[in-house]
Amino acid sequence: MSQPGSPVPARLADIAQQARVSEATVSRVLNGRSGVAAATRQRVLAALDILGYERPVRLRQRSAGLVGLVIPELTNPIFPAFAQVIERALAGYGYTPVLCTQTPGGATEDELVEQLVERGVTGVVFLSGLHADTSADPARYTRLAGRGVPFVLINGFNERIGAPFVSPDDAAASRMAVRHLRELGHRRIGLAVGPHRFVPVRRKVAGFEAAVAEENARGSADGRPVTGVVRHTLFSLEGGQAATAALLDDGCTGVVCGSDMMALGAIRAVRQRGLAVPADVSVIGFDDSQLIAFTDPPLTTVRQPVAAMASAAVHALLEEINGNPVQHTEFVFQPELVVRGSTAAAPAG
């Protein structure tokens, strides 16, 4: 039995499962034996770190460097989901991730970046940062590049910033949602999204309006046109609730939201009117963070390909760090509509 406060003994089965290798391979790595590929050995060591086990002294090595991960918040579950995958990938390559989270009244993105640079950070990953805000000055990223710090940006493209970008296809996400609701018979569809100054919002709105036009051009059996209504609000549960209340006043029976958190607010607004989801109003979210399948009702949503996007961002950053510049363009990933219990046929009449 281990003494209180002593490290928990590593279990070969747990490490093998995490690293996706055999227990025999784990044993060879932990005992410092040869015959294991370098990449496989690194996966086993990363699994130790992820599971919270201490590496044997002979296997400990200096970190390849610090990599900052700057995110807006942790209250929206999609951000911790991205952070977990990114940190795991960085650890697998021997880098030490440093999570920097903005809080109301706390450090700004610029202040966080300055602190990272002062600590000799090797690179930075920005997730839904000021690069996505069209009202923000992109010169801050030019200055960062001038200081020799490689970086990659997730969610929000800006052609004035010379760096790799990784994004979901926001316009396609809106089109998927509108098409789904139209197939269920909804004719008046609302879109609840954040402030217009954000690039992902603009793209979602463009996709939404294009989808409504496409559905009307296609026509319907009953000849009734599809009407789209857009409401801008805050990216929060309360924002989704306020926007949906207005969309209900506009007669919408289907509501597409810019995030899962906003969709939960939409469901609250529907219930406050004495209506039911999905019998009276269908609601679609965006993100598909881990717990969304367990809401009441389980939320139909458009899933961001978090694992693929995070992996691409890390690989692009490491190429830049290693002196192999990646094309400074946007890598766009296709989302996926996940149909659950919050959407159903439009109410009669």
In this structure, are 187 and 163 located in the same domain? no
Give the angle 234-238-240 at the CA atoms, nearest 5°: 65
What residue numbers bound the domain in which 18 lies?
Answer: 12-59
The reported pLDDT for the residue numbered 57 is 65
Mean pLDDT by 10 residues, the chain (349 residues): 44 87 89 83 81 70 81 90 91 88 85 93 95 95 94 95 96 97 95 97 97 84 82 95 98 97 97 97 94 90 96 95 90 97 91
Question: Looking at residue 200, which CATH number applies to its domain?
Answer: 3.40.50.2300
> Number of structural domains, the chain?
3
In this structure, are 176 and 116 located in the same domain? no
In this structure, are 185 and 282 located in the same domain? yes
In this structure, are 83 and 108 located in the same domain? yes
In this structure, are 190 and 299 located in the same domain? yes
Residue 40 lies in a domain: yes
In this structure, are 327 and 245 located in the same domain? no
Residue 4 lies in a domain: no
In this structure, are 47 and 70 located in the same domain? no
The reported pLDDT for the residue numbered 191 is 98
Residue 338 lies in a domain: no
The reported pLDDT for the residue numbered 63 is 66
The reported pLDDT for the residue numbered 222 is 63
The reported pLDDT for the residue numbered 58 is 63
Residue 37 lies in a domain: yes
Residue 340 lies in a domain: no
Give the HSE-up count for residue 154: Cα atoms under 13 Å, Cβ half-sphere. 28
Residue 89 lies in a domain: yes
Residue 2 lies in a domain: no
Last residue of one domain, picked from the residues 41, 59, 77: 59
Token representation of residue 334: 């296709």
Last residue of one domain, picked from the residues 59, 79, 98: 59
Question: Looking at residue 52, which CATH number applies to its domain?
Answer: 1.10.260.40
- Sign, Cα dihedral of 251, 254, 260, 266: positive
Token representation of residue 201: 């919002």
Token representation of residue 214: 């496409």
In this structure, are 35 and 72 located in the same domain? no
Cβ atoms 190, 255 nearer than 8 A: yes
In this structure, are 194 and 299 located in the same domain? yes
Strands (E), 25-156: 65-71, 95-101, 123-127, 151-154
In this structure, are 179 and 118 located in the same domain? no
In this structure, are 296 and 219 located in the same domain? yes
Output the CA–CA distances (angstroms, integers) from residue 185 to 32, 158, 206, 301, in the order listed: 63, 37, 22, 18
Residue 341 lies in a domain: no
Cβ atoms 156, 128 nearer than 8 A: yes
- Paired strand residues for 20: none
The reported pLDDT for the residue numbered 8 is 46
In this structure, are 269 and 297 located in the same domain? yes
